[in-house]
Amino acid sequence: MAEVLLQIENLSHSFKLTKKLKLKAVDNVSFCIHKGEIFGLVGESGSGKSTLARCVMNIYKTQSGKIIYKGVDCTDKAGFKENKKMLQKDRQLIFQDNASSLNQKMRVCDIITEPMRIHHIKPPRGSYRAEAAFQLKYVGMDESYLDKYPSELSGGQRQRVAIARAVSMEPGLLVADEPIASLDVSIQAQIINLFKHLRQEHGFSILFIAHDLSMVEYLCDRVGVMYKGSLVELAPTEELYSNPLHPYTKALMSAIPVPDPLLEKKRRRIDFDAADFSLGGELVEVIPEHFVLKEQ
């Protein structure tokens, strides 16, 4: 089995709404990501996917549990401080909203090379401009875009620039938080194929968060299903899609559109009533490598 790159153990995070009221966004979540693996995380809006991603990146302070990256406990202040440079360089985040994640006053060339300047990394190709041109070419854009501003680019082009900026650091882990949600279908396919290429060429590990279950099935090696902050099912992609066991996962899978109009009319969606299910419990391995949340 491949080496574990990221280990998440009993992670929880809450948002304080009032002095007495808290909203638990992530509740006792545990899973791992192996080197070279694309791990998919799915669930409806508000299920805690993006909060978990921000905890992994230390954007949100973890309230309980551990996040261990390359043997470093990122939730330990002393350990994080000692390894801060490595952790900031080796983990990169790609946001859903590329318009706000790119500085509108900077040119593409400067956006891509900004992380290298911050970390005082000498450009492997001699100059920052040459490095930016190389990274652009790698994501399917030519150097004519180097002097453009984000407002002059399409949504797909901005997302490619964001990906180029992230991969310029040659990270061990890419956290992609719904990177295709706001893009046209044809552009989505291009970005998904780009992620596949990044894994094949560089061996990047990717935490891929998405709503589109069809894209997740095409891209990911394993998939975790989140519901109201809890991880309710976890399995290899083929196993999960062919044999969903949790009632919520079954409801999600039944909602995947079918391209054939005749079959789509006959398709029966499964309803999931949250009142019939308690989130308390733990993940249990019911089939080899297939885990389901069971009530205690």
**C-alpha dist (Å) from residue 12 to 168, 201, 228, 245, 253:** 31, 34, 12, 24, 26
Q: Tens digits of per-residue pLDDT, 205-249?
A: 999 998 888 889 999 999 999 998 999 999 999 999 999 999 889
Q: Tens digits of per-residue pLDDT, 246-283?
A: 988 988 888 777 776 776 667 777 777 766 666 677 88
What whole-number distance in Å separates Cα of residue 98 and Cα of residue 161? 9
Question: What pLDDT score was predicted for residue 144?
Answer: 92
State which H helix or E strand residue 283 sits in. Answer: strand 282-287
Question: What pLDDT score was predicted for residue 236?
Answer: 96
What whole-number distance in Å separates Cα of residue 35 and Cα of residue 17? 37
Residues 48-74, mean pLDDT to the nearest whole number: 92
Question: What pLDDT score was predicted for residue 275?
Answer: 65
Which pLDDT band holds residue 65 (cuts at 50, 70, 90)? very high
Q: Tens digits of per-residue pLDDT, 159-174?
A: 889 989 998 888 999 9
What whole-number distance in Å separates Cα of residue 254 and Cα of residue 273? 14
Q: Tens digits of per-residue pLDDT, 14-41?
A: 998 888 888 889 999 999 999 999 999 9
User: Could you give the 3-state DSSP secondary structure of residue 97?
Assistant: coil
What whole-number distance in Å separates Cα of residue 145 and Cα of residue 127? 17
Q: Which tokens hold the place of 8?
A: 């998440």
User: Is-contact 205 34, C-beta < 8 A?
Assistant: yes
CA 195 to chain CA centroid, nearest Å: 11
Could you tell me which residues are beta bridge partners of residue 6? 33, 69
Closest among 205, 206, 148 to 180, alpha carbons compared: 206
CA 271 to chain CA centroid, nearest Å: 27
Closest among 202, 168, 163 to 89, alpha carbons compared: 168
Looking at this protein, which amino acid is placed at residue 27?
Answer: D
What whole-number distance in Å separates Cα of residue 141 and Cα of residue 160? 8
Question: What pLDDT score was predicted for residue 108?
Answer: 95
Residues 52-61, mean pLDDT to the nearest whole number: 92
pTM for the predicted model, two decimal places: 0.91
Question: What pLDDT score was predicted for residue 232?
Answer: 93
Rg (CA), the chain: 20
pLDDT reading at 203 higher than 90: no
Question: What pLDDT score was predicted for residue 14?
Answer: 92
Question: What pLDDT score was predicted for residue 17?
Answer: 85
Looking at this protein, which amino acid is placed at residue 235?
Answer: A
Could you count the other beta carbons within 10 Å of the beta carbon of residue 40?
24
pLDDT reading at 157 higher than 80: yes
Q: Tens digits of per-residue pLDDT, 91-116?
A: 999 988 777 889 999 999 999 999 99
User: Is-contact 292 246, C-beta < 8 A?
Assistant: yes
Which pLDDT band holds residue 129 (cuts at 50, 70, 90)? very high
Question: What pLDDT score was predicted for residue 260?
Answer: 67
Q: Tens digits of per-residue pLDDT, 134-148?
A: 999 888 888 899 999
Looking at this protein, which amino acid is placed at residue 157?
Answer: Q
Q: Which residues contact 59 (CB under 8 A, 6 or more apart)?
A: 93
Question: What pLDDT score was predicted for residue 277?
Answer: 67
